[in-house]
Structures are given as structure tokens and as C-alpha cells.
Structure 1
């Protein structure tokens, strides 16, 4: 059986300046996503999922949120859950 993995990614979302707070609230509703920084029309979003497919689905969902002009993944790391000190 393959070892369970954790996928850790980040994305930059562009929004209208001044709309950071309402978009950040919508991001919080996307499974595995949280806003790390929100300022000047940009949000840095951390994404933690169990598979590459789930990461892609989360990025797609972020892209389609009301108020998001664009979303671009800027980082992705895949680690075994054991190396992260977690269990499946």
C-alpha cells in the first residue's frame, strides 16, 4: 500500500483592493484553505490536502469564488505524513 501523503501548497489570489476581507471569508469556506496574508488586492492562501487532485480542486474552487479576479498556484510540496509527524 502506498504511503499516505500530505500536499502543501500556496496560491496568490488577486481581488479588487478593499475586497480582501469578504473574499478572505469566502476562502475560509474552502476545505483545506486559509488566508495567510490579505492586503493591497492580494491574498496569499495556504492549501493543505491529501492528494494532487484535491489540491487542483481547491485551486479551481478558489478561482471561481465571487470577487476573485485570478488565482495562481505558486508553491507545492508533497511529503509523507510520517515525515510531517502525522498519521492517516
Structure 2
């Protein structure tokens, strides 16, 4: 068990917050790729890094894995999206500034 991580600290929210970053590849209908790239770039926490053919490479950032999953699910249901797949997720512990 990590030092300072207890059941009580998890339940009371006294664990330092974490920041989640995920990369994903979105496959889009080629005729809709540019439009979808703009829509994705306008979504909170989403950044578009590259577009090629029917692929759009993005990162998603947020406070939890659940939030990243919700965003990816929302993306996968967008009109013109064929699929959206998470490639990698990284979690960083944020410094506790409450002291």
C-alpha cells in the first residue's frame, strides 16, 4: 500500500487529487474528418494533435478515469465517427496545497 493512502482517506477525499491524461485515436468518415476535428478541439479537455486520412489523434485530460471514459464514449457516438479508441492513460498525483 502506498504511504498515506488509507481506506479512510479515500472515503473522506483527503487524498491529493490526481490528473489523468489519455491519448486516443478517432476514426472518422473521411468526408467528415475536418469538421469532426474542429468539434473535438472545441470539447473541454480534448486537444487534437494530428489528422491523417480517416484518423484523428487526440488527448483527453481530466480529474478521473471515469471522466475520460465518458468523454471517449461521447466522442464515439458523434455523427461521422466510426470508432474512438483509448491508446494510453497516464495519471499524475497533484501536489496537495491544503497545508
Task: Establish whether TM, by shorter chain, passes 0.5.
Answer: yes
Moved segments of 4+, more than 2 Å: none
Higher helix share: 2
**1:68 maps onto 2:81 in alignment:** yes
TM-score computed with the length of structure 1 as normaliser: 0.86
Match of residue 65, structure 2, among 52, 55, 65 = 52
**1:29 maps onto 2:29 in alignment:** no
Partner of 2:51: 38
Out of 61-70 and 22-31, give the one that drifted further. 22-31
Q: Structure 2 regions of 5+ residues with no counterpart?
A: 1-13
Per-residue deviation, 1:25: 1.2
Partner of 1:17: 30
For the residue of structure 2 that corresponds to 1:65, the secondary structure is: coil
Larger radius of gyration: 2
| RMSD of aligned Cα (Å) | 1.3
Aligned residues: 83
Q: Distance in 1 between matches of 2:28 and 2:66?
A: 25
